[in-house]
Structure 1
Amino acid sequence: MPPNVPPTSRQLPTTSGNTTPPGLVSARTHPINMPTPRVPARPANRTCRFTGCFHYVVDKGLCVRHGGGKRCTAEGCSSRAKHIGRCWKHGGSMECKSHGCSNRAKSRGYCWSHGGGAKCKTEACDKIAISNGMCWAHGGGTHAC
């Protein structure tokens, strides 16, 4: 090896078996090689305060599962209230605004059949999106080969 050239970590002799020379970081303890703890996707102040739960807070620091949010007022029902103090099973959903339709409204006050739901992302398409923001014709939904 030429003089005045620092040796690489592969060329450095070790004094006793698995020890790392002073000033160098062991490959096993290098930050890149250490397992990273799983980080919750939501900020800590918006996660449920129930021990071990990382669901999103709805009300009083709790997720729906652990008592957050208002409950259905129907006797014996513990589901979350959607509208007028009732869950969708007990009449808490809104009816479609379309004249003569008694279906539940999906969004903007209309049921799926009358235009409720998200519109397809594809330009000039007025169909309802099935999945990934697109209608069936433009790639939404599951297509069998």
Structure 2
Amino acid sequence: MSVCTFNDCTNHAIPGSVKCSFHKNRRQCKSKDCNNQVYARNLCVRHGGKKQCHYDGCDSYARGGNYCIQHGGIVVKRFCSVEGCAKQAHAKQLCVRHGGGRLCRTTGCQHHAREGGLCHKHNQNSNPHALTTTVKAEVRTPTTDAVTPFTASTHVDLDQLTPLPLLTDVDFVVPDLASNMYSKWLQLTQDVLWTLHPDLMGISYAGLLPAAMTTASPPMPPPYVPKLPPTYD
């Protein structure tokens, strides 16, 4: 079977005609060897079916009179005929919301047509090569390197925590009051770390001490006494 004579149409021509069933009532451009559809005055757009701008040297098409938009043409927009609606009309002098848009040609679908007479959903289903975006939820598995946030819902059994003995062989000298406060702070820090990370229960206090506290303090230099200038009698 022969193919329809119009450009870019791959439908089969109906018997006894050079046009398909879709283009059987469409006229063909009268220009020689042109297979475009007539737009106006028996001509397609390429061969003068659209009126060109009357401005000298302008090849654009006239819009709203004898001139294009750039040279003074005025396009009067049609608005929806429903009272109180200021949206632009599409079909039947109605906007899309009030029934001016075309519905999807799929049976039972109430969505508006977007491309090829189909809505977005049915257009993707009809095209197997359409690109679809799939959103996958990431499931993060806890690791020992990640820091687990502490929330109020975290259940910790304090009876199962075994306290570590305090470190007594650290070589540094501090006052008794500061030593007691530091030991309490160290014990509290240890309990918090064990509560959040039970896998750190094998760590000793030496790993929690700052480097400056594990070495003996250097001797203090003698105070600086400035020399007075000599006096002359």
TM band (smaller chain): 0.3 to 0.5
Highest RCO, 1 vs 2 (Cα 8 Å, sep ≥ 6): 1
Could you tell me the TM-score, scaled by structure 2's length? 0.33
Q: Which has the higher helix share?
A: 2
Could you tell me the TM-score, scaled by structure 1's length? 0.48
Bigger Rg over Cα? 2
